[in-house]
């Protein structure tokens, strides 16, 4: 059973860009109400797809480099990376079926 990995700007290259499997990056903030709705979905994905998908969580305020680089304008935000490149992107809260549909083609 896997869990969501909490990372910072310093770990972004190693954990996301150099990952051998697809990586779903969840940008969030503690003051964000809709982020609270997304957290259980991220936990679910990290558990169910642990063998095929890495799920990482980044708080936006202490990690301005990744936020700027990947143009995160609002939270919650999702960026799906494959081979170091963003292949899917979303901002705002999404229901679990939409998030699963977003990642499914890359699993």
Phi and psi, residue 35, nearest 5°: -60, -35
Helix (H, G, I), strand (E, B) or coil at 18: coil
Strands of 5-6's sheet in order across? 5-6, 54-59, 23-28, 77-82, 85-91
Q: Which residues are catalytic?
A: 32, 35
């Amino acid at each position: 059973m896997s869990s969501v990995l909490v990372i910072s700007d310093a770990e972004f290259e190693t954990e996301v860009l150099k990952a051998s499997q697809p990586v779903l990056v969840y940008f969030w903030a503690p003051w964000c109400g809709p982020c609270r709705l997304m957290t259980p979905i991220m936990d679910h994905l990290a558990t169910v797809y642990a063998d095929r998908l890495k799920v990482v969580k980044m708080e936006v305020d202490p990690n301005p480099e990744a936020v700027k680089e990947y143009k995160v304008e609002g939270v919650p935000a999702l960026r799906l990376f494959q081979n170091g490149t963003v292949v899917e992107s979303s901002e705002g809260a999404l229901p679990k079926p939409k998030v699963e549909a977003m990642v499914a083609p890359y699993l």
